[in-house]
Amino acid sequence: MSGDILFNAIIFLAGAIICVPIAKKFGLSSVLGYLFAGIIIGPYVLGFVGEEGEDILHFAEFGVVIMLFLIGLEIEPSSFWKMRKSIVVMGGAQVIITLVMADIIFILLGFDWKVSLVISMAVVLSSTAIVLQTLKEKGLMDTSYGAASFSILLFQDIIVIPMLAIIPLLSDPEKVIHASDDHGINILEGLPLAVQGGAIILSVVLVVLMGKYLIVPMLRLVAITKLRELLSASALLIVFLLALSMEIVGLSPALGAFLGGVVLATSEFKHELESNLEPFKGLLLGLFFMAVGASINFIVINENPGMIAGLVTGIIIMKAIVIYAVGHLFKLKQDQKLLLSVGLAQIGEFAFVLLSFAFQLSILDRNQLDMMLVVTALTMTLAPILGVINERVVLPHVGTKEIASRPMDHIAKAQKIILVGFGHFGSTVGRFLRSYGIEATVLDHNSNQVDLLRKMGFEVYYGDATRMDLLESAGIADAELLICAIDDPDTTNTLVTMVQEKYPKLKLMVRAKSRYDAYELLNMGVEHVYRESLETSVKLAGDVLSHLGFRKYGIVRQAQNFIKYDEKSLRRLASQPRNTEEYIFRVKEEIAQSEKLLEEDLKRGLIDTNHHWNSELMRKDSYTGES
């Protein structure tokens, strides 16, 4: 048994590792790499993976669930509200028009109306997994094409709920296969429809309440333990919980996860959850795409190649035309319309769910299910290829490429700033930047503080900033500069080393606790080092001098010179070799340095910079202005 699992794991991982880099090498999206890896290791090419492909597909569907949770996390209710029009109108138009057209076509092809309706519902949906993965990889989420794709996909993901609710109504209760394995846990089965509907609404409300009053407090509790793996565990637990609670009432687990994500999008744990789930999502989605590839049943294709080819082509063309028309309605530019229509032309992963569900309810027969599964998998494989053709062959001939049509957005993006550490030091930095309208993306590891500051309107997220994945989800790749205001010097050094290695071009501005921490940072190659003990101490000393009766203007100049001098000596002394290994040596050395500094200050004496109009000198010369 365990040998089997290990063997399968090796096959899938090796397949991915071989095929995805090849796809990437040719500039294709990783989705295509995974799909082909699936086809190659599947039962009809190399035969490494047999019937268990379907089980893997079920398991890997969890990747889609996690992905929808992550998508939910990225949609804050406010931006969700801003998108409402494009979601409802664009998504609605696409769904209704495609549904009606597909239904007519399938009825004309001679299918029963119920069968046609179910198949059309499946055909309407596009693949959130493929499209969003591709968009993210290519960084196209912020183009109007990306936004439109997202709106349509979101509407489709929502419309799955009523679809799943309607399908049982189409079934003939006599023929339903009871105690089917997959839906054994639906506790609502057999209850009156009104009760089922009520229970479904209740469960959605429950998800929202759970997010607010159970999950967030739980995460805070976990955060206090400061154990990273516990947060990963909680993140997975949350998604499992959401998925299960939805499955119990017969809803799509993906939708539950999406809802949960939206609820948690405004919580301080957003980035932490994102970065914890990202690797799981990536792996499971890869597995999912491979399973789709492996599940393409070439026997079914062989039996009826004409029909399958016709359906695949017909569906892709029909979907593309409808989406193109919708894009036209929304005044998208030519190239954006083309990208959108080709991008969304495939049938999505929800089709697997809908079709299997309809099969269990005996609406579809085995043949129809097999055929549609193959068609779905084929469109999912073909659409990315068409996308490549579209990009490489068609688009270069279309004149209206969208470039920087929203300059303000680009400026805002170009000025992205990450502020790590939002204690007393960092929050002052953040407040001052804010007074210039610069909103930094803030990371802090104190969840109490994060919550408080969020209440004050700051955009602060909870997380351990020495994790590259968290920094990446905070957008370090596009950041102009990173401010490190962390209290603990060791953490600061870890962060600096990590960032310098991965993003050598990123400008770093780093807080140093002491002179000696500053030495270390300077030697690490950080140019902008800010000693927290320098300016404030000089200011205090200056105020003392002012109280003693010295003139403020002289003090201000003297203080500035003192700081300048001290910075210079800091840089000079930093480059001198020091024995930092042994504590006792270090202490000795630090005392020696302090002595040296004091001695130099003494020798330098008061820097009298006010030589201009030195009346004493002029008096001595009896200078009257006569030349």
Partner 1 sequence: MSKILVLFAHPTYEHSRVNQALIESISKKKGVIVHDLYEKYADFNIDVKYEQELLLKHPIVIWHHPLYWYSCPPLMKQWIDMVLEYNWAYGPNGNVLKGKKIMNAITTGGSREVYCTEGSNNYTINTFLKPFEQTATLCGMDYLPPFSVMGTNLITDEELIEATQQYNVAIDLLLQEQLSDNDLEQCEYLNDLPELKDIEL
- Kindly state the smallest distance separating residue 619's Cβ from partner 1, in Å: 5
* For partner 1, the closer CB: 230 or 545: 545
Minimal CA–CA distance to 137: which of 442, 498, 384? 384
Binding mask 501-540 for partner 1 (x = CB under 8 A): ----------------------------------------
Cβ proximity to partner 1, 225 vs 627, nearer residue: 627
Q: Which one, 78 or 560, has the nearer CB to partner 1?
A: 560
Determine how many CB atoms are found less than 10 A away from the CB of residue 559: 17
Least distance (Å) from partner 1 to the CB of residue 544? 15
Binding partner 1 (rule: CB under 8 A), the pick from 550, 594, 596, 607 is: 550
If phi > 0 it is left, if psi is from -120 to 50 it is alpha, else beta; for residue 493 that is alpha
Token readout for 592 is 């020696």
Question: Which of 552, 571, 588, 604 touches partner 1 (CB under 8 A)?
Answer: 552
Q: Binders of partner 1 among 103-142, rule CB under 8 A?
A: none
Stretch that binds partner 1, among 267-275, 350-358, 413-421, 547-555 (CB under 8 A): 547-555
Asked if 627 is part of the footprint of partner 1 (rule: CB under 8 A), the reply reads: yes
Q: Which of 554, 569, 593, 597 binds partner 1 (CB under 8 A)?
A: 554
The CB-of-394 to partner 1 minimum distance in angstroms stands at 59
Instruction: Give the separation between CA 222 and CA 216, rounded to whole angstroms.
Output: 10
Give the distance, in angstroms, between the CA of residue 600 and the centroid of all CA atoms in the same chain: 53
Residue closer to partner 1, measured from CB, 178 or 619? 619
Total binding residues toward partner 1, as defined by CB under 8 A: 22
Q: Are residues 463 and 495 in contact, defined by beta-carbon separation less than 8 angstroms?
A: no
Q: Of 151, 138, 125, 156, which is closest to residue 31 (Cα–Cα)?
A: 138
Q: Is 181 in the site for partner 1 (CB under 8 A)?
A: no
Please identify which residue in 538, 551, 567, 596 interacts with partner 1, judged by CB under 8 A: 551
DSSP string for residues in 319-344: HHHHHHHHHHHTT--HHHHHHHHHHT
Nearer to partner 1, 435 or 624 (CB): 624
The two three-digit tokens of residue 197, written as one number: 């509907």
User: How many residues can be counted in the chain?
Assistant: 627
Cβ of residue 392: shortest distance to partner 1, in angstroms?
59
Q: Which amino acid is at 218?
A: M
Among the listed residues 318, 389, 305, the one whose alpha carbon sits nearest the alpha carbon of residue 347: 318
Cα–Cα distance, 179 to 143 (Å, whole number): 47
CB of 563 to partner 1, least distance (A): 14
Query: Among residues 225 and 622, whose Cβ is nearest to partner 1?
Result: 622
C-alpha closest to that of 69 among 206, 202, 195, 237: 237
CB closer to partner 1 out of 137 and 543: 543
Residue 410 CA to its chain's centroid (Å): 19
Q: Residue 535 to residues 485, 509, 566: CA-CA distances in angstroms?
A: 16, 16, 11
Interactions with partner 1, residue window 595-624 (CB under 8 A) = 610, 612-616, 618-619, 621-624
Query: Which member of 225, 366, 553, 602 binds partner 1 (CB under 8 A)?
Result: 553
* 51 is a site residue for partner 1 (CB under 8 A): no
- Sole residue written with tokens 């030495």: 519
Among 10, 96, 540, 556, indicate the residue that binds partner 1 (CB under 8 A). Answer: 556
Tokens in use for 221? 């509790």
Interacting residue ranges for partner 1, rule: CB under 8 A = 550-556, 610, 612-616, 618-619, 621-627
